[in-house]
Structure 1
Amino acid sequence: MKKKTLTTQEIVLYALGMAVVFVATMYIKIPNALNGYFNLGDGFILLFASIVDPLGGFLIGGLGSALADVAGGYAYYFFPTLIIKGLEGVVVSYLLRKFGEKAKWGAYGLGCVIMVVGYFLAKWYLKGSMAIALTGIPENIFQSGVGYVIAIVALPVVKRCLHQKKLNVQAVK
């Protein structure tokens, strides 16, 4: 198996993605009554997963979000967030690379399902109560739905900008 070397452009794109997801998670948030908050990070995870490879999807989704949890006082969610949001990014990136833009709707939908189910399981484990975990499902569905819309609306704009700048990024065709 040939080992892939990351280009400078890929490293910069991954770092930019992690920073955007961090900011969208940490600073564009709305607190809720259940010791958590809504944020816009999922939209940017889906968006960046559309233009990077699965490794980038994992790093952008997982680290960008998990570091925001630590900075925001939710450090106990670092590992669940790393896995859940990282998996969201990997799956979306993989599906879009394999099937192209025609799979965008389904790939984003599956990414949203991964987030909702993942946080249900994480909250059940961390809080020790299925009832408490169930209360988070509507909030996470809403958050992932907003993220879905952000990605659907922003992807054509991002693709156009990448094309105009002739950047060597393999966005969804």
Structure 2
Amino acid sequence: MDTTANVKKITVVGVMTALNIVIARVFLIPVPMTKGFLNLCDAGIVLIALLYGANYGGLVGALSGFLLDLLAGAPQYMLFSLVIHGFEGWVFGKVIEKEKTPGRLVLAVVLATIIVSCGYLACETFLFKFSTAIIGFPMNILQAIVGSLVGIVLYSQLRKVIH
């Protein structure tokens, strides 16, 4: 077991979680009907999943989603975000684990988008009602796709530097 490599991964995960939260708070678009917001949280989750795999992607997703909602004053979303974004990061990492081909990346983006959009549809239906939740559904799809694409672009630029 390479201790230096493990320390480097843990450090990168911690820094990426913090950076992900800052970026998501800076680029924040409120959705008044659901009392939620759109952000670029998915970009950091996808980037870490691509760099370090499913477990790290899931960890950054869970921590980022949970802490972002705490800091944003949206505690009603915290546990939902922990599960939704944690699962998103883990699934994305699992899909591209063996190979990062264009086809696998497309599949990972599609699955991440389904997880995020359907996860928040269920969450907001539970917290509010379906008619409120469905209003945010298209924006959650857009957030997941844009965030995933930003994460992929960042990965293509950073993979040689970070590894």
Shorter-chain TM-score above 0.5: yes
Give the ranges of 4+ consecutive aligned residues of structure 1 lying more than 6 Å apart after TM superposition: none
Q: How big is each residue's C-alpha offset from its partner over 1:20-62, in whole Å with a ceiling of 9 and x where there is no partner?
A: 2211222221223322221111122111111113221111011
TM value normalised by structure 2: 0.89
Q: What value does the CA root-mean-square deviation take over the aligned residues?
A: 2.0
Query: Which amino acid in structure 2 is aligned with residue 22 of structure 1?
Result: I
Identity within the alignment, %: 28
Aligned residues of 1:25 and 1:65 also touching (Cα < 8 A): no
Question: Are the counterparts in 2 of residues 84 and 114 from structure 1 also a CA contact under 8 Å?
Answer: yes
1:137: Cα distance to partner? 0.4
Task: Return the alpha-carbon distance in structure 2 between the equivalents of residues 154 and 53 of structure 1.
Answer: 15
Shift of 1:14: 1.3
Structure 1: segments with no counterpart, 5+ residues? 168-173
Q: TM-score, normalised by structure 1?
A: 0.84
Which residue in 2 is equivalent to 1:105? Answer: 106
Partner of 1:68: 68
Once the two structures are TM-superposed, the CA of residue 133 in structure 1 deviates from its matched residue by 1.1
Distance 2:160 2:136 in 1: 36
Mapping of 1:4-153 within 5 angstroms?
7-34=6-33, 35-102=35-102, 103-127=104-128, 129-153=129-153
Residues of 1 paired with 2:47 and 2:95: CA distance?
A: 13
Cα distance in 2, alignment partners of residues 50 and 96 from structure 1: 7
- Once the two structures are superposed, residues 48-103 of structure 1 have per-residue CA deviations (whole angstroms, 9 ceiling, x without a partner) of 11111322111101111210101110011111000000000000111111333341
Aligned counterparts of 1:134 and 1:122: Cα–Cα separation in 2: 11
Which structure dedicates a bigger proportion of its chain to helix? Answer: 2
Q: What letter matches 1:23 in structure 2? A: V
